[in-house]
Amino acid sequence: MHDQLSQTFAALADPTRRAMLAELSKGEANVSELAKPFLKTMSLPAVTKHLHVLEKAKLITKTREAQWRPCKLNPEALKDASDWMEQYRVMWEESFDRLGAYLKTVTDTPTKGKNNGRKK
């Protein structure tokens, strides 16, 4: 998986990583703060691996300030994924609009010579 978009979607596929991104959407946080909600179910090294995947996908940036490792959300990487999905959203909406218009013509057209399922 070498292209950036594939790395982004692979990173977003995991609920733990999405939860970490949601937390970072509130503002910068250090690794310990991000790890805290997950330490009941996983080890700190596992949390660190999740952060590494997010960093490799460029969804977050992690810097070093003495012992503190602040992490920040990188919204530009999410914008690239959103832009890619947007083209398909437009296509699907147009398809659904055409289907809706077709179904309206089919259901609005009375059938001639039939009793429409009613018994005489």
Q: How far is CA 12 from CA 43, 73, 98, in A?
A: 20, 13, 32
Residue 39 domain-assigned (yes or no): yes
- The count of domains in the chain is 1
Residue 115 above 90 pLDDT?
no
In a domain, 83, yes or no: no
| DSSP result, 81-116 | HHHHHHHHHHHHHHHHHHHHHHHHHHHHSPPTT--T
**Angle at CA 28, nearest 5°, toward 25 and 32?**
110
Percent of the chain with pLDDT over 70: 88
Q: Is residue 84 part of a domain?
A: no
**pTM to 2 decimal places:** 0.71
Q: How far is CA 112 from the centre of its chain?
A: 49
Q: Stretch 76-83: mean pLDDT, rounded?
A: 88
Q: Find the helix or strand (DSSP H, E) in which 29 lies.
A: strand 29-30
Assess if residue 70 is contained within a domain: yes
**Is residue 49 domain-resident?**
yes
Size (the chain), residues:
120
Contact (CB, 8 A) for 21 and 54: yes
Is the residue at 114 inside a domain? no
Residue 30 lies in a domain: yes
Per-residue pLDDT tens digits for 13-61: 999 999 999 999 999 999 989 999 999 999 999 999 999 999 999 999 9
Average pLDDT over residues 67-88: 87
Q: What is the mean pLDDT of residues 86-101?
A: 82
Check which CATH number belongs to the domain holding 51 and give it.
Answer: 1.10.10.10
Q: Which residue has the higher pLDDT, 55 or 67?
A: 55
